[in-house]
């Protein structure tokens, strides 16, 4: 499969898991995809800045995207409250 297809699949899964973990019930397929993709970029930046490695492959990418998506959801909820 092309790289971008895996990126989208990982984004959907990470966004969906983050919605479940954060007790938000998810944001629908498109919303989960957006949260997961933005979370992947955010997580990648955070992990790189801190010098942390989640390993390679799909599992490592999913962990990074999930952490980033959880942080993104938390930030969005903070902003929404204010």
Whole-prediction pTM? 0.85
The DSSP secondary structure of 6-74, one letter per residue, reads HHHHHHHHHHHHHHHHTTS---HHHHHHHHHHHHHHHHHHHHHHHT----SHHHHHHHHHHHHHHHHHH
Task: Lowest mean pLDDT of 7-21, 23-37, 64-78, name the range.
Answer: 23-37
Q: 50-67 burial by CB neighbour count: b if 16+ within 10 A, else e?
A: eeeebeeeeeebbebbbb
pLDDT tens, position by position, 46-71? 999 999 988 888 899 999 999 999 99
Give the pair of three-digit tokens for residue 7: 């990126």
Tell whether the model's pLDDT for residue 2 goes beyond 90. no
Cα–Cα–Cα angle for 42, 48, 49, rounded to 5 degrees: 90
């Amino acid at each position: 499969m092309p790289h971008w297809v895996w990126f989208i699949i990982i984004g959907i899964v990470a966004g969906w898991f983050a919605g479940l973990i954060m007790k938000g019930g998810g944001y629908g397929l498109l919303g989960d995809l957006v949260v997961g993709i933005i979370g992947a970029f955010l997580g990648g930046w955070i992990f790189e800045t801190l010098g942390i490695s989640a390993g390679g492959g799909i599992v490592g990418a999913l962990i990074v995207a999930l952490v980033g998506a959880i942080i993104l959801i938390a930030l969005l909820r903070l902003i929404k409250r204010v």
